[in-house]
Chain A
Amino acid sequence: MAANTSSTVVQALVVCRKELKDWSRDRRSIITVLISSLLAPILVGVMFTNLASRQRQVEDVTIPVVGGANAPALMDWLRQQAGVTVVDGPSDPEEAVRSRREDVVVVIADDFSADLKSSRPAQVRIVADGSSQNTRPKVQRIRGLLQQYSGQIGALRLIARGVSPAVASTLQIEDVEVSSAQQRAAMLLGFIPLFILISAFTGGMPLATDSTAGERERGSIEALLVNPAPREAIAAGKWIAGTLTAMLSVVVSGGLLFALFQYIPLQDLGIRFHLGQRELIGTLIIVLPVCPLIVGIQMYVATFAKSFKEAQSYLSFLMMVQMVPGMIMMNSNVAKAWWMYYVPWVGAQTILTDMLGNKPISAAVFVVMGLVNVVLAIVAVRATAGLLLREKIIFGR
C-alpha cells in the first residue's frame, strides 16, 4: 500500500511538471497572468493619483484676476485664505479660458470700488468653461470664496444699519459631502482584496482549462488515461500545477500593488492607509490558501467542457458568481456576520478587508478558514478524478 501511495505521488508530480512545462510555453497563458496581475495595480494607481491630484488642485488654488487693482480689499481678503494665490490675469480672459490656457479667470469691473462704496451690487465675473469636468471643483471653490466675501460684507452693512444679518438669511444651507475624496479612496481600497482574489482566478484559469477541456479538445485524454496512473494522481497533478500558477499570479499582483503603494501620495488624500511589508505578507498568507480551492473548482467545471472556448465561458460565469457576494458586501455596508469568515472566497475577502483596515484577526478564524478551503479543494479534485472515469467525458467530443 505504501509503495502504491508513493508511486501515486510520483505520478502526480510527473503530471504536474508536464503541465507546468506546457503552460510556460503557452504565450497566451503567460500574457493572461501578466495582464491580470498588472491590471489591478495600474487601475488602482491611476485612480489614486488622479484623486490625489484633483484634491490638491482644489485645496491649492491659483486665481488669475483681471482688474485686481479695482478691489484691493477683496484681493487682500483672498490672499489671506488658506491655499489661495492671486496672480495677474491674462489680457483677454475669455480667449484664455476658451483655449484652455487658464482654467478660470476672475474679472473685476472697473466701477467695482464705486459700486461697493454706494452699496450697489459690485460686478465680479467668473470666466470659466462649464463643459470642462476637470475645472469644475476649482470654479466652485472660487465661487464659494467670493460668495463668502459677499456675505461677510453684506452682514457688516446690515449690522451698521442696526439690522440682524439673520434677517437676510432665509435659508441656512449646509453641504454634507458624502463622496469626499477620502471616501472614494476608501472605496477603492475596498477593491484591493477583490483585485487580488481575481488575479488568483485569472492566473489559474489557463492551466485549469488547458489541462482539462483542452485535453478533451485535442483528443489527448484517451492516451493519457490509458496509463496505469490512477485518476487521482492525474487530477491531483494538474491541480497542483494550476494552483502554482494561480499563486504565482497572486504573488506578482500583490508585489506590484505593494511596490506601487510606495509611490501613491495617499497622505494627500488624508488617508491613513498603509500597504507595507506587513500588509503584503498578510495578504499573501490569506489569499494563497484560497488558490487550491479556486483552481479545484475551475478544473472540475472545465472538465465538463468539450473545448477550451466552452470552458472559458463557463469559468467567466463562475468568476462573476464568485464576485457577487464581495460586491454586495462592499457596496452596502452589510454587517459582518461571524459565518462570513468561513465561506470560501467571501471569507478571504472579509478577512483581507479587516487586515488592510488594521483590525485584529483571530488566529482561530484563520486556521478554520484554511481548513475549509483545503477540504473543499480535495473534494473538488476527487470529483474531477471521478469525472475522468465517465465515458461521456473521455469520448464525448
Chain B
Amino acid sequence: MIRVENLHKRFGEVRAVDGVSFTAADGLVTALLGPNGAGKTTTLRMLYTLMRPDEGRIFVDDVDAVADAQGARLRLGVLPDQSGLYPRLTAREHIAYFGELQGITGSDLRTRTEHLLKLLDMTEIADRRVAGFSHGERTKTALARAIVHRPKNVLLDEPTNGLDVMSTRAVREIIRRLKGEGHTVLFSSHVMQEVSALSDRIVVIARGTIVADGSPDDLRRQTGHENMEDAFVALSGLEVEANPS
C-alpha cells in the first residue's frame, strides 16, 4: 500500500507538485493520469525516494519513505522514468544483477529469472547483449529486473510509452498478474485507453495538483462525459491550455 499526503516539490519558481494526496491500495491497479508536465514523474520520483519532497509525507506499507528511504526501497519495485540498460550485459545478466543486489542468490535467483523471462516472452533473447534490443525488449528487460525480488509495491513510470502492440500486451499482462497476486501497482500514463483498460482507480493530475480521484465509472459520472477521453480533457483543463508543458 502506498499513501501520499500533501506532497510538494518546487524547482525554482515552478511548483511541479503542489499538494498531492492519494492512496494506492493492495490488490488494486492505480493509475496516475495526466498530460505531459503535469507532475506525474516528479511525484513518482518522490515515491521511489530518489527525490526529496519539500513538504508532505509518503508511506510505503507504513514505512515513512522520507525518513527511512532505504526501508521504503526494500518494499518497492520500480520502473523509473529513465531506465537505461547496460549495453554490454545480456537480459539475463540484468535481471541477475538486480536480483543479487536485493540479496537473492543461487537457484532461487535462477528460478525467478527463468520465470520472468518466460512470463515476458523473452526466452529467446535472454542471452543476447541488450545493445541490439528494440525499445520493447528494453522495456521488458527493465521491467523484469525491477520486479525480480517480488516487491509488495510496484511503481511504473509510463510503462507502455512507445511500445508496439505485442510488448504493450506483455506489460499489461504483467500488471494484471501482479494485481492478481495482491501487489499494489501504481503506474503513470498520459494515454487514456491505457488507463481505462487497466486501472481500478484513476488519479488525475494536472499542473501539480489532483483534479480527480476515483474509479473509471466515478470519473465518467463526475464529469458527465460518457467517453473517458472527454472526461480526461475536461478534468485536466486541456481545453483552456493547449500546451501545458
Residues of A in contact with B (beta carbons under 8 Å apart): 7, 10-11, 14-15, 18, 21-22, 25-26, 215, 218-223, 225-230, 391, 394-395, 397
Nearest-CB residue, chain A, relative to B82: A219
Chain A contacts for B98, CB-based, 8 A: 223, 227
Establish whether residues A220 and B84, one from each chain, have CB atoms under 8 Å apart when the complex forms. yes
- Tell me which of A25, A26, A220, A225 contacts B85 (CB under 8 A): A220
Partner of B102 from the list A21, A26, A227 (CB cut-off 8 Å) is A227
Instruction: Tell me how far the C-beta of A90 lies from the nearest C-beta in chain B, rounded to whole angstroms.
Output: 63
Q: Does B28 contact A (CB under 8 A)?
A: no
Distance of A42 from chain B, by nearest CB (Å): 29
Indicate if B106 sits at the interface (CB-CB under 8 A): no
Chain B residues with Cβ under 8 A from A391's Cβ?
Answer: 50-52
3 A-B pairs closest in CB distance: A219-B84, A219-B82, A220-B84
Is the pair A227, B101 in contact by a Cβ cutoff of 8 Å? Answer: yes
Nearest CB of chain B from residue A389's CB, rounded to whole Å: 9
In the complex, A221 Cα to B48 Cα: how many Å?
A: 13
Nearest opposing residue in chain B for A394, CB measure: B50
Measured CB to CB, the nearest residue on chain A to B52 is A391
* B76-A226 in contact (CB<8A): yes
A21 to B98, CA, bound (A): 15
Residues on B with beta carbons closer than 8 Å to the beta carbon of A394 = 50-51
Known: A222-B50, A223-B80. A11 touches B101 (CB 8 A): yes
Please pick, from B76, B79, B89, B100, the residue contacting A14 in the complex, using a CB distance under 8 A: B100
A-B contact list, 10 entries, CB within 8 Å: A11-B101, A215-B84, A219-B82, A220-B86, A222-B50, A222-B82, A223-B82, A223-B145, A226-B146, A227-B73
Contacts of B95 in A (CB 8 A): none
How many angstroms between the C-alpha atoms of A225 and B78 in the bound complex? 10
B142 touches A223 (CB 8 A): yes
- Given A223-B146, A226-B80, A21 and B89 touching (CB < 8 A)? yes
In angstroms, Cα B78 to Cα A72, docked, is 97
Distance A225 CA – B48 CA, assembled complex (angstroms): 10
With contact pairs A7-B103, A15-B101, A395-B45 given, residues A225 and B50 touching in the complex (Cβ less than 8 Å)? yes
In whole angstroms, how far apart are the Cα atoms of A223 and B77 in the complex?
10
Knowing A14-B97, A227-B98 touch, does A395 contact B51 (C-beta < 8 A)?
yes
Question: Chain A residues with Cβ under 8 A from B129's Cβ?
Answer: 25
Chain B nearest CB, measured from A31 CB (Å)? 15
Instruction: Give chain B residues whose Cβ lies under 8 Å from the Cβ of A228.
Output: 70, 73-74, 101-102
Interface centre among B87, B93, B146, by most chain A C-beta atoms within 10 angstroms, is B87
- 18 extra interchain contacts, Cβ-Cβ under 8 A, other than A21-B89, A226-B49, A391-B50? A11-B101, A15-B101, A21-B93, A22-B86, A25-B89, A25-B129, A218-B84, A218-B85, A219-B82, A220-B86, A222-B81, A223-B79, A223-B98, A226-B80, A227-B102, A230-B70, A395-B50, A397-B82
Please, how many angstroms separate the alpha-carbon atoms of A39 and B33 in the complex? 58
Residue of B nearest to A13 (CB): B100
